[in-house]
């Protein structure tokens, strides 16, 4: 696609529910990143993939958070048993090469946990 596409753009869920956020990177981009951004803050790294391999998941807050990219293209970030503190914008980004020095962000998925 022309840009990084994320869905849903907005998600309201009840506390305790599981949520899956989808990211479709720019076509041909080998690296894919997930970030979380709270209101008034800069984005914080969660995890990233080169092709289908998860390279670094040190930013995932706890074991309720997981991500996958099974075919090296679309990725899903899953949050289990959501809590109110999970409310934030979740941003996906991709880069053409593994060196990743030009990273393009999607418009983000707003998650509100009520």
Partner 1 sequence: AQTVTQSQPEMSVQEAETVTLSCTYDTSESNYYLFWYKQPPSRQMILVIRQEAYKQQNATENRFSVNFQKAAKSFSLKISDSQLGDTAMYFCAFMKSQGAQKLVFGQGTRLTINP
Which positions touch partner 1 (CB under 8 A)? Answer: 31, 33, 35, 40-45, 48, 55-56, 58-59, 89, 91, 93, 95, 98-105, 107-108
Q: How far is the CB of 15 from partner 1 (least distance, A)?
A: 24
Q: How many CB atoms lie within 10 A of CB 56?
A: 13
3-state helix, strand, coil in the chain (%, to 5): 5, 50, 50
Q: Is the distance from CB of 54 to CB of 66 less than 8 angstroms? A: no
Q: Kindly state the smallest distance separating residue 71's Cβ from partner 1, in Å.
A: 20
In the bound complex, what is the minimum distance in angstroms from residue 56's beta carbon to partner 1? 5
Query: Which C-beta is closer to partner 1: that of 17 or that of 97?
Result: 97
The residue (of 25 and 108) whose beta carbon lies closer to partner 1 is 108
Q: Which two tokens stand for residue 69?
A: 């990219």
Query: Shortest gap between Cβ of 28 and partner 1 (angstroms)?
Result: 17
Distance of CA 59 to the CA centre of its chain: 11
The nearer residue to partner 1, 18 or 56, going by C-beta atoms, is 56
Nearest CA among 73, 76, 97, 83 for reference residue 25: 73
């Amino acid at each position: 696609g022309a840009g990084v596409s994320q869905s849903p753009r907005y998600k309201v869920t009840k506390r305790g529910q599981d949520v899956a956020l989808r990211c479709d990177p720019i076509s041909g981009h080998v690296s894919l990143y997930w970030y979380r951004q709270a209101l008034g803050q800069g984005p914080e790294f969660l995890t990233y993939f080169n092709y289908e391999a998860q390279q670094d998941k040190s930013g995932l807050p706890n074991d309720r958070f997981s991500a996958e990219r099974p075919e090296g293209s679309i990725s899903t970030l899953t949050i289990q048993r959501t809590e109110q503190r999970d409310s934030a914008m979740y941003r996906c980004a991709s880069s053409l090469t593994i060196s990743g020095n030009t990273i393009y962000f999607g418009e983000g998925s707003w998650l509100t946990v009520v």
